[in-house]
Structure 1
Amino acid sequence: MKNTLILLIIFLISNQLEAQFLKKESINAQIGYGLSSPYNSIDEIVDDGFFLQGEYVLSLASWFELKPYAGIILTSSNGKDINDNPTDEKATSKAF
């Protein structure tokens, strides 16, 4: 009797809960440390900077979402490679 009562209470409570609380609209934003490096370089060149990305999530149905997004990355060169050796190569980026 005790086990049956516990199972009945668990069933009634879990029936009222939802697994995810989905909003119709939301904004997902990311901000962080940006890195850029060239593909065809013998030296280990990596330049650092800033990146920002934003995404607007619009749920039209439970199985369909629109997610337009925009991002920006800005990196600059300090004239050194990973090992702090001076170099003439650069891997800067300014992209939207």
Structure 2
Amino acid sequence: MEDGQYRVFFYTTYLGFIKRSLGIITGISITFIGLGVSFFAMSKESKLEVKGVAQLASVSPGLIAICLGCYLIIKSIESKDNIKFAPPVVTNTK
């Protein structure tokens, strides 16, 4: 177990897990903050637009935060890491 490549493989796998976990936790927190704001804040119309794809308009800015939090959770779950463990290449130099 003292192979350096195994450690790199393990650390890379662990960091991928941390990345997805932080994305999910951040998405959940943004969703709950948006939920809290949507109950207490009514203001003028807020707009969120992605050119050529989607447009979202709401009187409560909390609804936009809820949508963004859900989008972040979906993308965090959807992301995949391609980690390949390859044995070291030994070359003969004589």
Report the TM-score, using the length of structure 2 for normalisation: 0.26
- Structure with the larger helix share: 2
Give the greater-gyration-radius structure (CA): 1
